[in-house]
Amino acid sequence: MRDDSQLRWPTYPTRGVMLEQAVPAPSGGGSVHVRAADGTEYLDAIGGIGCAPLGHAHPLWVAAIHRQLGRLAASANSFHTAPQQQLAARLIDLFPIPDARVFFGTTGTEATEAAIKLAVRATGRNRIIAFERAFHGRTLGALSLTANPAYRAPYISCPGEQVDAPAFVHSRVTRLPFGDLDAVARAFAEHGSEVAAVIVEPIQGEGGVYPATREFLLGLRKLCTDNGALLGADEIQTGVGRTGNWAAWTTIVGDDPADQPDILWLAKALGGGFPVAACLARASCAEAMTRGTHGTTFGGNPLACSAGLATLRIIEEEGLLARAAAQLPTLQKIAEQRPIARVTEIRGAGAMLGIQIDQPKDKSAGAIGTRLMHEHHILVTVCGGHTVRLLFPYGAGEAELRQVWDALATCLETT
Ligand SMILES: Cc1ncc(COP(=O)(O)O)c(C=O)c1O
């Protein structure tokens, strides 16, 4: 086998582990364990980076994909297919956007692009308000909304930002502190007639698992309405049940139709591990996307839509929303029983959990993530350098959370 550095672009930090297959779950459902090529079994506490809400290789999900594979795997978007229509209808029924229409894509960043294009076309404006610490993807439009300059330079420059390298694209993104409603009000006062949309993650994931408050999201709703701008919720990481409701917006804000965003987009968990993304928008906005204004070959592919339908069905049939919702309180209970001095905060909602180690400036979580993998065979991600993030399959419960917590205690007490 050739070394990875001879095969792939060196874009990803590699962990030096070759994952091979799911370890069959004793319960017969999806698995929370994966086996590496050397036989080591890992507890997958990042659930395929948020893409395995059912666990890995759930037999019903696998069977649904196999069935569709034998029927029809590919079709142009100028044709209808039953899986595509059924998935669109399910999403319209389950998600809280009033009178929604759906655009299908394949990746998260592609759904963000669809949302940006829709906001610009529907309003005839070209400025977007986004937030510090935000992550919305890595294609050029989505990247302009993503806060981390390490990802953006030398591709994009935004107004008022110092760039060292010549930028490829100049965007009209105004970046403001997350949670600072006054700053958003001031930006509207200055640029109101130019603002197409405010785009926000209800819980910032990559930025460190920071939930927005209800007041902040409702305040954004009002400012957008008052100024003729659209409100967009990036629920790529938070959506499809991760917080215990189909949308994190529902978890934080509630389901009053008047309080909902105009655009809401999903990826990660939607396909249960198969690449599927969807952008929902109110019909009154979606009608701006007339024929030819956007498109993508694989978006809404019948195989992908079958995977999405199976994922939604299994989440409902196995009561996984409630089980996802229970993860945060369960972790909090475990933490109370056995406090770890260096854990300074637990943040999140449902099955989206952030465990902050020391103070953010200490950036001491990276080494802990590595030790959890090598010494305890637990896979986690670290965000912001300070927070261990868990994105378990929704069915994970006390046993798995306790395993992570005990391992964390061992790492932190011996560092
Ligand atoms: C909130 C959010 N937006 C956008 C993205 C980008 O999604 P993708 O990597 O599928 O393009 C991610 C991925 O982590 C995300 O968490």
Check pocket membership of 210 for ligand 1, CB cut-off 6 A: no
What is the residue with the minimal CA distance to atom 7 of ligand 1? Answer: 108
Q: How far is the CA of 131 from the centre of ligand 1 (A)?
A: 15
Question: Which of 279, 301, 317 is at the close of a domain?
Answer: 317
Question: Which of 273, 300, 317 is at the close of a domain?
Answer: 317
Q: Is the model's pTM score more than 0.85?
A: yes
Q: Are 339 and 386 in contact (CB under 8 A)?
A: no
Check pocket membership of 251 for ligand 1, CB cut-off 6 A: no
Q: Are residues 99 and 236 in the same domain?
A: yes
If you write DSSP's letter for every residue of 124-192 in order, what string do you get? S--EEEEETT----SSHHHHHH---HHHHTTTEE-TT---SSPPSEE--EEEE-TT-HHHHHHHHHHHG
Range of the domain at 12: 4-54+320-413
Question: Which of 317, 332, 352 is at the close of a domain?
Answer: 317
Q: Are residues 145 and 173 in the same domain?
A: yes
Question: pLDDT tens string for the chain (415 positions)?
Answer: 788 889 999 999 889 899 999 999 998 999 999 999 999 999 999 999 999 999 999 999 999 999 999 999 999 999 999 999 999 999 999 999 999 999 999 999 999 999 999 999 999 999 999 999 999 999 999 999 999 999 998 899 988 887 777 889 999 999 999 999 999 999 999 999 999 999 999 999 999 999 999 999 999 999 999 999 999 999 999 999 999 999 999 999 999 999 999 999 999 999 999 999 999 999 999 999 999 999 999 999 999 999 999 999 999 999 999 999 999 999 999 999 999 999 999 999 999 999 999 999 999 999 999 999 999 999 999 999 999 999 999 999 999 999 999 999 999 987 6
Please report whether residue 166 resides in a domain. yes
Q: How far is the CA of 109 from the centre of ligand 1 (A)?
A: 6
For residue 331, what is the domain's CATH number? Answer: 3.90.1150.10
Q: Are residues 246 and 268 in the same domain?
A: yes
Check pocket membership of 137 for ligand 1, CB cut-off 6 A: yes
Please report whether residue 109 resides in a domain. yes
Q: Are residues 353 and 308 in the same domain?
A: no
The one-letter amino acid code at 195 reads V
Check pocket membership of 201 for ligand 1, CB cut-off 6 A: yes
Q: Are residues 175 and 292 in the same domain?
A: yes
Q: Are residues 183 and 94 in the same domain?
A: yes
Residue of 250, 301, 297, 261 whose CA lies nearest to 115: 261
Q: Are residues 156 and 302 in the same domain?
A: yes
For residue 114, what is the domain's CATH number? Answer: 3.40.640.10
Q: Are residues 167 and 298 in the same domain?
A: yes
What is the residue with the minimal CA distance to atom 3 of ligand 1? Answer: 136
Residue of 91, 88, 144, 92 whose CA lies nearest to 116: 144
Q: How far is the CA of 351 from the centre of ligand 1 (A)?
A: 17
Q: Are residues 311 and 377 in the same domain?
A: no
In this prediction, residue 161 carries a pLDDT of 81
Please report whether residue 259 resides in a domain. yes
What is the tally of structural domains in the chain? 2
